[in-house]
Amino acid sequence: MGSNTEKNALIDANEYEDQSIGAELTTADINKMAWRSLLLQASFNYERMQAGGWLYGILPALKKIHTNKNDLAKSMKGHMGFLNTHPFLVTFVMGIILAMERSKQDVSSIQNTKIAVASPLGGIGDAMFWLTLLPICGGIGADLALRGSIMGAILFFIMFNVVHFTLRFGLAHYAYRMGVKAIPLIKANTKKVAHAAAIVGITVIGALVATYVRLSTTLEINAGDAVVKLQTDVLDKLMPAFLPLVYTLIMYALVKRGWSPVKLIMFTMVLGVAGKYAGFL
């Protein structure tokens, strides 16, 4: 038993104290989540992107699931992590994640799943909405408008939003039901599911570092007559996304040494502005 308490202390921050399955979410709860998901990007920022709005969306449901205040705090803290997903498809992720919260999976397992499911939706959503739905509705609307009819605006608005809200609410309910059905399976295989979620989550984070961190230098080296562009001639040939990777790893090392996020953000802002004035960024 001694080793057991030791283990509990170690994983304390990661595991919920109350391990009983959380309160069932009603149709009204899921609808509320879908409405609130409209504000996904309300506190959008460069550091965590949609994290604040994401937490805003699932907050009432989290409160219902975690009646233990410490558990609610742990859960909220986890959900403040970086997130960038497609604002139209986000309720699909929310539904799955709330089912996992109900089954009281540990925090890192839930966060890994969130990243793994949410991140790929960006590309799918862009193709569905910006490249398909919007051009179709906009084309029909503009055509009618150019012929002087107010029906262009009205038809556009109705067509677009029927699809938009059907998907938003439909996905929310579908994903939640699917997630709840999987609860017994997940509950029985907690450790294996956590391991699998970590594999997918960490792989996607590796990909996100290469995709989302944009850092390149405008430095040039004058070697006699030849001008060597440091970014395109050297770094890009050595390794694509080299600077983003290095910068992320530096940030990671500093976070582990106890630097606060605010300090790192200020450091990054000063670097960006100084780099622009000095002409190397």
Partner 1 sequence: MEISIIQAFILGLLAFIAGLDLFNGLTHMHRPVVLGPLVGLVLGDLQTGILVGGTLELVWMGLAPLAGAQPPNVIIGTIVGATFAITTGVSAEVAVGIAVPFAVAVQMGITLLFSAMSPMMSKCDDFADDANTRGIELVNYFGLLVLGVFYFFCAFLPIYFGAEHAGAFVEALPKNLIDGLGVAGGIMPAVGFAILMKIMMKNIYIPYFILGFVAAAWLQLPILAIACAALAMALIDFMKKDETAATVKNEELDDGI
Q: Which pair of structure tokens corresponds to residue 224?
A: 């006699």
Yes or no: say if 110 and 198 are a contact pair by the CB < 8 Å rule.
Answer: no
State the nearest-atom distance from the C-beta of 22 to partner 1, in Å. 15
Residue 214: count other Cβ atoms within 10 Å of its Cβ.
Answer: 8
Q: What does the DSSP 8-state code read for residue 37?
A: G
Q: Which pair of structure tokens corresponds to residue 103?
A: 């089954």
Between 114 and 222, name the residue whose CB sits nearer to partner 1.
Answer: 114
Between 135 and 222, name the residue whose CB sits nearer to partner 1.
Answer: 135
Between 82 and 174, name the residue whose CB sits nearer to partner 1.
Answer: 82
List the beta bridge partners of residue 205.
Answer: none
State the nearest-atom distance from the C-beta of 221 to partner 1, in Å. 21
For the chain, the distance separating the N- and C-terminal CA atoms, rounded to the nearest angstrom, is 57
Between 222 and 277, name the residue whose CB sits nearer to partner 1.
Answer: 277
State the nearest-atom distance from the C-beta of 175 to partner 1, in Å. 16
Q: How far apart are CA 225 and CA 277, in angstroms?
A: 26
Between 154 and 221, name the residue whose CB sits nearer to partner 1.
Answer: 154
Q: How far apart are CA 66 and CA 266, in angstroms?
A: 34
State the nearest-atom distance from the C-beta of 30 to partner 1, in Å. 18
State the nearest-atom distance from the C-beta of 236 to partner 1, in Å. 10
